[in-house]
Chain A
Amino acid sequence: MTELWQQVLSGLGSGFIYASLALAICLVFQGTGAVNFAQGVMATASAYLAWSLVSNGMNFWLALVLVLAASFVLGALIERVFIRPVEGSSPLVMLTVTVALLIGLQAVVALIWGDDPQQLQSPFGGGSVEVFGARLTAQQLGAAAVVLVTLLLAGAFFRFTTLGLRMRAAAQNPASARLLSIDVGRMLALGWGLAATVGAVAGVIFAPTLGVSPAMMDSSLLLALAAATLGGFESRGGAVVGGLVLGVAANLASRYIPGIGSDLQLVVPFAVIFLVLLLRPQGLFGRVSSVRA
């Protein structure tokens, strides 16, 4: 029983990575209609940036703040430069652009920082905490807490601020938003910036566990895509829940289902979404939207 509880908790821990990346993917999708395959590698770049600052002697938290600001700017810049020219194009074109960003940015990261994995010290120290009989490292607990706070802040931002409301309006009905003097282009860039920031939180805070390498976010990206599919790309909350669910499911499966080691762990989320999509094509939390010809 304790063993199961332990596995659930540590699955939940990695679930937070998927949840925040999935949220970032949703933000971008709702705004620009692009499934951003580069979301993971953008977070990787953020993690490398943090590693560079910390290994040059900067305090972790100060580095985190700087990196978040830089990630915001980078995300908004990517929207302006790479996405703007194809705004409103078919999903296929959008997808191709983000795939190009994925392979390009990943290569650039590797060219700048090299292929070898780097180690970022945990800001939470090496201790561990007991939670109802399960043992969690301070890093696991602290990282989860930071991401949780980020997710809540993001939710509050969209729910309660006028800027959040404007962004939702621009995402939902850009033509109508423009008539209400909303600069839709700026909102989309903000959305990308915000998504990059949310992704960066996950990338930096989990870097001590994941190790800093060009491929560090690869499997997380896939699980995040799966999570967004599971929750429905239209639902921010659904994506977060989807991420947590998949984190637990993947961890339990690789522990308890014989034959699924860490190399085939990816089977689990895809099996889950396969089933979900067959039963509920709009995702667990998505709404069926009527389509007009």
Chain B
Amino acid sequence: MTLLQLTGVRAAYDGVQALHGMDLAVTGGEMVALLGANGAGKTTTLRAISGTVSVEGAVVFDERDVTGWAAHRVARLGVGHVPEGRGTFVDLTVEENLTLGTLARGSRLRGQVKEDLAAVHELFPILRDFSRRQAGALSGGQQQMLAIARAILGRPRLLLVDEPSLGLAPMVTTEILRSLRVLQAEWQLAVLLAEQNARRALAVVDRAYVLESGRVVASGSAAELRENTAVQDAYLGAEQTGRPA
């Protein structure tokens, strides 16, 4: 069943066009990557879905046309977004950051907060150890974990994750992506992951779209894309792909 459908989505910042007719779909429970270089439109695509940039075209989530909706209303429908820059509430404690996550969930799942919190703590023990600490005092990787945990505690049906590897050591990124995969399977969550590091992303996702200048230029299963020579040349070329951030 199609959970998310983008049809001919266009978006612009200050008159500069960032998306030129984007078409993509995500089915419930699958993990999909958006690959592409800096400026290809990955972040804007995620923002178009969560309603944090104004768009033309159609964004349909769960059979509802959410084009032009305010961000908080889209979030209420079950779209979680781990934004670029992690969106940490720096002056609040780690615990408070996570509570904000649980407050975002629908009333149906309110009873389950405790178990979910325990599951998240098990996955990211550091968040339990530092629960009273100010979130701004965490390291980059810890803040990334916090951001994912916060978004996931809202029990979204679709989680948008923007460049979790940005500025992190490869080991940490791998750990975070693996945790994401675990949660995704356990909570039957659809994930749309924007990632510059194609090799690493293709190691965990089911499918991927390759973006260039605000358009989809290739798509397929992770295995297909790994084999695809054109994609290899463009995005997987050397062992160290993607520019260091």
Contacts and interface: CB of A to CB of B under 8 A. Distances in A.
Is there a contact between chains A and B in the complex with CB atoms less than 8 Å apart?
yes
A162 B103 CA distance: 8
B207 interface: no
Interface residues of A, number: 17
A182 B72 contact: yes
A131 interface: no
Interface stretch (A36-44, A169-177, A219-227): A169-177
A178 B71 contact: yes
Interface stretch (B15-23, B75-83, B180-188): B75-83
B12 interface: no
Interface string B58-92: 00000000000011110110001101000111111
B205 interface: no
Contacts of A178: 52, 70-72, 75
Contacts of A183: 70, 72
Interface stretch (B93-101, B123-131, B165-173): B93-101
Contacts of B151: 179-180
A62 B156 CA distance: 46
Nearest to B96: A165
B50 interface: yes
A141 B184 CA distance: 59
B154 interface: yes
Given A178-B75, A180-B150, A169 B87 contact: no
Given A175-B52, A175-B83, A180 B88 contact: no
Interface of A: 162, 165-166, 168-169, 172-173, 175-184
Interface of B: 50, 52, 70-73, 75-76, 80-81, 83, 87-92, 96, 99-101, 103-104, 150-151, 154
Given A177-B100, A180-B103, 19 more contacts: A162-B99, A162-B103, A165-B92, A165-B96, A168-B96, A172-B90, A172-B92, A173-B87, A173-B88, A173-B89, A176-B87, A177-B89, A179-B50, A179-B71, A180-B100, A180-B151, A181-B104, A182-B100, A182-B104
